[in-house]
Structure 1
Amino acid sequence: MTTALRSTDGPSTPPHPGPGAALARDLRKRGRRRLLREDTLTVLAWASGAAAVALYLADGGAGQFNSPSPALTGIGVIAGLIGTDLVLVMLLLAARIPLIDNAIGHDRAMAVHGKLGKPALYLILAHTVFLLLGYGMADGLNPIAEGVSMWVNLPDMWLAFISIVLFIAVVVTSLVAVRRRFPYEFWYVVHLLTYAAVLTALPHQFSVGGLFADGQWQRWYWIAFYVLVLAALLRFRIWAPLALTLRHQLTVQRVVPAGDGAVNVELTGLRLEELAGSGGRFFIWRFLAPGLWWHHHPFSLSADPAAGRLRITVRNLGRGSASLMAVKPGTKVSISGPYGLFGHAARTRAGLVLVGSGIGITPLRAILERAEFEPRQATVILRASTPETLYLRDEIAELCQQRGATMFELVGHRARSGNTWLPRHQTGLRLADYVANLSGSDVYVCGPNKWAESVMADAKATGLADAQLHRERFDW
């Protein structure tokens, strides 16, 4: 087998045989199934909002639009129904349900979750405003006086107003400009207020105005929707991590230096072979030691499970990860996952390109270890400012040689123009110069955000479809 390692001076073009027909067919089938699941979930999400409005209109709501006051009230009710539907969809997206995660991945699910936040809040605020206008018009009161009257005289309405305040707090703290000012743990705790906001909004929906009165279809629809969301959260956010932790009983075996400011944390446990093939996907880790147990860390495996051991590679990038540099052997570890599509399940082409920078190199090593490809159908590009930050370089080079993959080491300071993901002395080159069969490959990119965006832009400029591009984000 020819040596896969290439120098950092520039790319050479290895011969590229055609992809294995069987592998290509299998990947196309997997891709079609995943797209079908994605389309089905999209239809269900839209249908849930349409069903909420249709049931309201069918249960007598259509008759409200015959005069100004009831019409304003009806608009407010519809806004509230759609807003509530969006909130419940958001909770399902954040529930880490395998069906959703395997269809669109954790990153995309959370991106959609985040985008729905402001529209949901606007609809809930519109719900409040239009109800105050409609009821106020009917009672001869201005909206403020009507709000006070509702707070005092209607059961559970004070909880509804508290719910609105909680929703505003959640959305405001979710804005990137705001959350960057606070530690992740603060933002995470505040974000849990979403559950409190839903719970405080629930009583008035069933006790005020008879909207969900006995005998109406919409009553049963909303009860079923709430039960579904609650069951998903209990099953996948609470029970699944607990069961996984008890099943595998992970314990830190040793902590080994892994290069400039990084360590390998090796763990032992039970039935770890069940986690094989999870390379690239991430787990949520909690190290059950004083000062550490309340931090949760999203780390990918840096090696596939072997001989009863797991391994993650951690770099000192902040207070949370810095505390793991000195975690003691014998520390028990809680785990949940794996999550995301940054792994084998997302493949659509027979060719494979892995592009990593800094600590983002480490999950690529685990993907390379078990990925399906024919010899010389995979290319690994390692990017670093200095040789010391080519993490796991020797291991990856050995895997490349064993499996017949091509490897490039691109070392040097970033270019300031052009393809800024490249070193300055190679800024005139493109990703296609390193990969002969780029159009027939999936590209996996992992590294700092701006750097990764430059790689993705370079790949898209060559005409690659979105389905061929896979990225693991480092931020929250």
Structure 2
Amino acid sequence: MTTQQPTRPLRRIEPRETGTGRVPRATTGRRDVPSGPPRPQQRPFVPVGVSHPPLWWRDASVLAMWTVLLIVVALWVSGGGVQSLGTLGGALLSTGRLTGLVASALLLVQVFLMARIPWFEKAWGQDSLARTHRLVGFTSFTLMLAHIVLITLGYAAGTPAGLWGTIVDFTLNYPGMLLAIAGTAALCMVVVTSYRAARRRLRYESWHLIHLYAYLGVGLALPHQLWTGQEFLSSPVATVFWWGLYIVCAGAVLVYRIGVPLWRSLRAPLRVVHVRRESATTTTVVVGGPGVARLTAKAGQFFQWRFLDGPGWTRAHPFSLSAAPDGATLQFTANRAGDGTSRLHRLKAGTRVLIEGPYGRMHPGVRTQRKVTLIGGGIGIAPMKSLLEGLAQAPGDVTVIHRVGSEQDPTLAAAIDETARRRGARYIRLAGPRNRARDSWLPGWADAWDDAGALQHLCPDIAEHDVFVCGAPDWMDRVRASALDAGVPADRIHLERFQY
């Protein structure tokens, strides 16, 4: 691959005046894109040798979560939770215990969802897992705050010490409470920095480090629950259930977040093979070694990467593959966006690499249709290039739409154009600053065009396609909305977010 401009003109959209207003027209160096009526619906297409992920595992995991919550409620009922609702103080205490129990269970579910368990990850994909993790996390945190307030008010209602005296008594005299307060503070810090407004103000490295305090918060809360929580010790069944839940979650994290990646990296070391600059702000890194052949990576997936090149190596960064795996090397392309990515261009050949993965459901195995449209914005074109190389296809099956901020941006353009020509795919490059007049995935010079209509004109039979999307989160949301408006079913739109 080279960073020089391709020898023939890249496809781009240009305006064409019609009797009904301006609409997009895609042109190439050889021919205009046809804009006739959509072709008849084709039968679902599954490439030979590529199996669909076991989606029933997702349903099974949801059922397991609800089963855990039902058991929690059942244990609360069997422990006299309902009978205690007769008085105000009893109702506050009993409801407070229930919210605390459910909050604890959801907190463990939240940890379990991000433990990188292969079966769950294949069924959900990191995008869906992370969004579910976020929803469960905020729910758990809200219930935890309700637990603190209700329990405090409940005890205060039954003692002459009053509210402040109860708080002091809790803090100083109840076993594990100081640890629980520290754990709650850690969880508050994690939750506050998880809001999008706060997340966007933090460097990825800082956010990642703060997020690890969630494990500390869970660990500090455990002694309080076991020493003072009667529902944890009320019966052998409750004790086994809660201890089992903690052991399963801790085991999942230790095995799949630490053990498996470390074992893979030590068993078959990976090292940097080559580093090249694609542009002033974009770098491609090629990694090789005996461990590559043992991985089951697919085009479009991503890994968590750590480079043992000095300070900061402990922090992993998610980068998607920018080339289809060939069994000998893995390649990713990243923009300079923080401390971790800014040093990529300084990596030396031979640098040791630790990886976690592969992750993500944005790969050929989720494909259901013969026709595919790949839409990438900025550096989000990297996994689209990988998919273009890895998808089984006949000429005309694949369309690539590449959204860039400037016509002079060379990132992966030459390689995509060459691959598209060789494989008979259509490559459309949309260059220009973003539209500041309205929210749109199109460039600013396309202000008069309807988002969904432009997509349909670029790809008239888009409703018959699988659509893969990668780019900035808000931009992906707009592309997804346009694809839905253009008639693409929701289950045929595949995307991967790295910010939640």
TM-score by length of structure 1 reads: 0.90
More helix by share: 1
How far apart in 1 are the matches of 2:227 and 2:342? 51
Is 1:13 equivalent to 2:34 in the alignment?
A: yes
How far apart in 2 are the matches of 1:263 and 1:28? 31
Instruction: Note closer, same or farther for the CA distance 1:41–1:400 as it changes in structure 2 (3 Å cut).
Output: same
Is 1:330 equivalent to 2:350 in the alignment?
A: yes
Instruction: Note closer, same or farther for the CA distance 1:294–1:149 as it changes in structure 2 (3 Å cut).
Output: same
Q: 2:492 aligns with which of 445, 468, 473?
A: 468
CA contact (8 A) 1:358 1:389 kept: no
How far apart in 2 are the matches of 1:130 and 1:385? 53
Q: 2:376 aligns with which of 339, 343, 356?
A: 356
How far apart in 1 are the matches of 2:444 and 2:343? 34
SS of the residue 2:202 aligns to? coil
Note the 1:220-231 alignment, pairs <5 A.
220-231=240-251
Is 1:89 equivalent to 2:93 in the alignment?
A: no
Name the residue aligned to 1:448. Answer: 472
How far apart in 2 are the matches of 1:245 and 1:236? 13
Residue identity in the other structure for 1:211: E
Q: 2:195 aligns with which of 153, 162, 175?
A: 175
Q: 1:23 aligns with which of 19, 37, 45?
A: 45
Name the residue aligned to 2:294. Answer: 274
Deviation readout 1:343-364 (Å, 9 max, x if unpaired): 1233233321101122211111
Structure 2: runs of 5 or more not aligned: 1-7, 15-24, 27-32
CA contact (8 A) 2:324 2:386 kept: yes
Note the 1:387-406 alignment, pairs <5 A.
387-406=407-426
CA contact (8 A) 1:259 1:388 kept: no
Instruction: Note closer, same or farther for the CA distance 1:257–1:130 as it changes in structure 2 (3 Å cut).
Output: closer
SS of the residue 1:150 aligns to? helix
How far apart in 2 are the matches of 1:180 and 1:76? 34
Deviation readout 1:233-258 (Å, 9 max, x if unpaired): 01111012112212341111221222
Quote the offset at 1:185 in angstroms. 2.3
How far apart in 1 are the matches of 2:229 and 2:474? 52
CA contact (8 A) 2:46 2:367 kept: no
CA contact (8 A) 1:251 1:268 kept: yes
SS of the residue 1:283 aligns to? strand
Residue identity in the other structure for 2:34: T
Residue identity in the other structure for 2:52: R
SS of the residue 1:314 aligns to? strand
Is 1:158 equivalent to 2:178 in the alignment?
A: yes
Q: Which moved more, 1:323-332 or 1:46-55?
A: 46-55
TM-score by length of structure 2 reads: 0.86
Residue identity in the other structure for 2:460: A
Note the 1:65-464 alignment, pairs <5 A.
65-208=85-228, 210-213=230-233, 215-275=235-295, 277-306=297-326, 308-417=328-437, 420-427=440-447, 428=449, 430-464=454-488
Instruction: Note closer, same or farther for the CA distance 1:149–1:261 as it changes in structure 2 (3 Å cut).
Output: closer
SS of the residue 2:348 aligns to? coil
Quote the offset at 1:40 in angstroms. 2.5
Kindly, what percent of the aligned residue pairs are identical?
A: 32
Deviation readout 1:367-398 (Å, 9 max, x if unpaired): 11121344322111122233432422222223
How far apart in 1 are the matches of 2:296 and 2:68? 37
CA contact (8 A) 1:107 1:473 kept: yes
Name the residue aligned to 1:62. Answer: 82
Quote the offset at 1:425 in angstroms. 4.7
Note the 1:12-51 alignment, pairs <5 A.
12-13=33-34, 21=43, 23-24=45-46, 30=52, 33-34=54-55, 36-51=56-71
Instruction: Note closer, same or farther for the CA distance 1:319–1:210 as it changes in structure 2 (3 Å cut).
Output: closer
Instruction: Note closer, same or farther for the CA distance 1:326–1:75 as it changes in structure 2 (3 Å cut).
Output: same
Q: Which moved more, 1:433-442 or 1:114-123?
A: 114-123
CA contact (8 A) 2:79 2:234 kept: no
Deviation readout 1:209-248 (Å, 9 max, x if unpaired): 5332263422221111111111110111101211221234
Aligned-residue CA RMSD (Å): 2.8
How far apart in 2 are the matches of 1:441 and 1:114? 30
CA contact (8 A) 1:59 1:218 kept: no
SS of the residue 2:272 aligns to? strand
Quote the offset at 1:19 in angstroms. 7.6
Residue identity in the other structure for 2:416: I
Q: Which moved more, 1:50-59 or 1:6-15?
A: 6-15
Quote the offset at 1:308 in angstroms. 2.0
Structure 1: runs of 5 or more not aligned: none
SS of the residue 2:495 aligns to? strand
Instruction: Note closer, same or farther for the CA distance 1:358–1:152 as it changes in structure 2 (3 Å cut).
Output: closer
Quote the offset at 1:133 in angstroms. 2.2
How far apart in 2 are the matches of 1:211 and 1:457? 46
Q: Which moved more, 1:292-301 or 1:437-446?
A: 292-301
Instruction: Note closer, same or farther for the CA distance 1:162–1:348 as it changes in structure 2 (3 Å cut).
Output: same
Deviation readout 1:237-284 (Å, 9 max, x if unpaired): 101211221234111122122234322212221142334652211101
